[in-house]
Structure 1
Amino acid sequence: MPAQEFLILADNPALDFLNTLAQGDDGPVEYLSTNKDVIAWLQRMGYLGERGPRAFPRDVLAERARALREMIRKLLTQRKLGKNIDIGALNSFLMHGRYTVQLARASNGELEVKDHFDMDTPEQLLAPVARAAAELIATGDFDLVRKCEADDCVLWFYDRTKAHRRRWCSMALCGNRHKVAQFRQRQKDNAELE
Structure 2
Amino acid sequence: MTTHAPDQSDAPWPTVAADHPALDLLNTIAQIDGRSVDLWSSDADVAQWLVRAGWYKRGAITAGQTRGLLKSAQSLRETVRALVGERKNGGRIDPKLLNDFMAKAPSHSELVCEEAGLRLERRRAAKTPEQLLAPVAESAAELLAGGDFTLIRKCEDGTCTMWFYDRTKSHRRRWCSMALCGNRNKVAAFRQRRQA
Q: Would you say 1:127 and 2:134 are equivalent positions?
A: yes
Q: Please report how far the alpha carbon of residue 50 of structure 1 lies from its aligned counterpart in structure 2 after TM superposition.
A: 6.7
Select which of 74, 87, 91 maps to 2:82: 74
Q: Would you say 1:37 and 2:50 are equivalent positions?
A: no
Q: Please report how far the alpha carbon of residue 25 of structure 1 lies from its aligned counterpart in structure 2 after TM superposition.
A: 0.2
Between 35-44 and 2-11, the greater mean CA deviation after superposition:
2-11
Number of residues of Structure 1 aligned to a counterpart in Structure 2: 188
1:36-55 equivalences under 5 Å are: 36-49=44-57, 52-55=60-63
Structure 1 portions without partners, runs of 5+: 190-194
Q: Please report how far the alpha carbon of residue 147 of structure 1 lies from its aligned counterpart in structure 2 after TM superposition.
A: 0.3
Please report the TM-score for the alignment, with normalisation by the length of structure 1.
0.89
Q: Please report how far the alpha carbon of residue 110 of structure 1 lies from its aligned counterpart in structure 2 after TM superposition.
A: 6.2
1:34-183 equivalences under 5 Å are: 34-49=42-57, 52-56=60-64, 60-104=68-112, 109=116, 111-183=118-190
For the pair shown, the structure with the greater C-alpha radius of gyration is: 1
Is the CA contact (8 Å cut-off) linking 2:16 and 2:176 kept in structure 1?
A: no
Consecutive aligned runs of 4 or more in structure 1 exceeding 6 Å deviation? none
Is the CA contact (8 Å cut-off) linking 1:20 and 1:32 kept in structure 2?
A: yes
Percent identity, please. 49
- Measured in 1, the distance between the counterparts of 2:123 and 2:65 equals 24
Q: Would you say 1:185 and 2:192 are equivalent positions?
A: yes
- Measured in 2, the distance between the counterparts of 1:8 and 1:45 equals 11
Q: CA RMSD in A?
A: 2.2
Structure 2 portions without partners, runs of 5+: 1-9
Q: Please report how far the alpha carbon of residue 143 of structure 1 lies from its aligned counterpart in structure 2 after TM superposition.
A: 0.2
Aligned to 2:6: none
Is the CA contact (8 Å cut-off) linking 2:66 and 2:128 kept in structure 1?
A: no
Deviations 1:51-100 (A, max 9, x none): 62332588611111011100000000000011111110100000011222
Please report the TM-score for the alignment, with normalisation by the length of structure 2.
0.88
Aligned to 1:16: 24
| One-letter code aligned to 1:53 | I
Q: For residues 51 and 96 of structure 1, do their structure 2 counterparts lie closer, same or farther at Cα, with a shift above 3 Å needed?
A: farther
